[in-house]
Structure 1
Amino acid sequence: MSQIPDLTPDCDACAALCCMALAFDAGEDFAIDKPAGLPCPNLEADLGCALYTRLEDAGFSGCARYDCHGAGQRVTQELFDGRDWRAEPALAKPMISAFANMRKVHDGIELLLAAGRLDLPAPLEEEREDLLEAYARPDWTENSLAAFPASDAPARLAAFLPRLRDWV
């Protein structure tokens, strides 16, 4: 079986991808509108958050609750060797794309790990393990991540999950 990546976020090992890549709309969870692909105005030069210790009080409860499941640091450290979009602006677009796809990969891994706690019959457990192999591969690259959404793995996962109803 593939090595399961750490799904715990490590903001210190990331390039603040959620603060730059994601969009948010002013409302209950965010105090301001921010389009995708632009850095949050609260993002500091060192890629830290000026509001980090008081996110909820400042109207950013959505930031306080957000969890990339480790996708941010994996993209930053594994795919871009610790480089970041602030120091190298040309990396912004490829990092945004890789982050979006790695989030899908990590979300799939999380679902498949949860399914592993169910008492599944052998054929479903075998299918779950096959899917986990496709999602938890150790050798992701920018190209393989870019191709992932069009691969058969997301469709296979989408078809697999509803079949677990009887074991939930």
Structure 2
Amino acid sequence: MSKPSLDADCSQCAALCCVLLPFDKSASFGFDKAGGEPCQNLNACHGCRIHDRLEEKGFSGCVAFDCHGAGQRVVQEVFEGADWREDLSLLSRLGPAFHRMRRIHELLLLLREAGKLPLDEAQRGELDRLTSALNPPDGWSETALADFALSAAEADVRQFLASLRSVVEA
């Protein structure tokens, strides 16, 4: 499997962030929205009716949010293009998958940045091992994603990054 994109591509998603994530009315969001509830600005094609005016309408939080490609990976890879609008019961499964994939993509982002450092052969090997664990060769299935030892992977990545202190300080 090729490396996943860590850039959001909303055209390949099903507006997961606009449905699954909650927000409170504040300087960043124009109204309250519960998690699992579609945003009232969402159109029938998973697009935002006010996308070109988000900040003007009080939704700077939407502009600032980035799933780093987790949304489209869940929709396209894990759920093979399934659409929650056609089957509302999918939301209860998409939510946990999206939240786990976001954490995985955050780890992949950290590892990508670490890969820019002048690593020695052993460090490069550990980087590759950790990256491969977060990007299985056959891709993610719903079961594999749910069963993945994410907390252990996060601890491994943190430990690896901490071991690079001397490289960063050099």
- TM-score, length of structure 1 as denominator length: 0.92
Matches within 5 A, 1:10-159: 10-138=9-137, 139-150=139-150, 152-159=152-159
For 1:36 and 1:163, the matched residues in 2 are separated by 37
The whole-number CA distance in structure 2 between the counterparts of 1:62 and 1:163 is: 34
Please tell me whether the aligned partners of residues 14 and 76 of structure 1 are also in contact (alpha carbons under 8 angstroms): yes
Amino acid at match of 1:105: I
**Aligned-partner residue type, residue 61 of structure 1:** S
Q: Which runs of 5+ in 2 are unaligned?
A: none
The aligned counterpart of 2:166 is: 166
Inter-partner Cα distance in structure 1 for 2:151 and 2:106 = 16
Alpha-carbon distance, 1:155 to partner: 1.9
- Size of the aligned set, in residue pairs, is 167
In the alignment, the residues of structure 1 paired with residue 143 and residue 106 of structure 2 have an alpha-carbon distance, to the nearest angstrom, of 19
| Mean Cα deviation higher: 74-83 or 51-60 | 74-83
What's the % identity of the aligned pairs? Answer: 46
Is the deviation greater in 74-83 or in 11-20?
74-83
Gaps of 5+ in 1: none
Contact 1:42–1:49 (8 Å) recurs in 2: yes
- TM-superposed CA distance for 1:125, in Å, is 2.0
| Misfit runs of 4+, over 4 Å | none
**C-alpha displacement at 1:98, in angstroms?**
0.9
CA shift at 1:149, angstroms?
Answer: 4.3
Could you tell me whether the CA contact under 8 Å between 1:101 and 1:149 is conserved in 2? no
Computed over aligned residues only, the root mean square deviation of the Cα atoms, in angstroms, reads 1.6
Distance 1:102 1:86, change over 3 A: same
Query: Is contact 1:3–1:137 with CA below 8 Å preserved after alignment?
Result: no
Q: Distance in 1 between matches of 2:162 and 2:57?
A: 39
Give, in angstroms, the shift of residue 95 of structure 1: 0.8
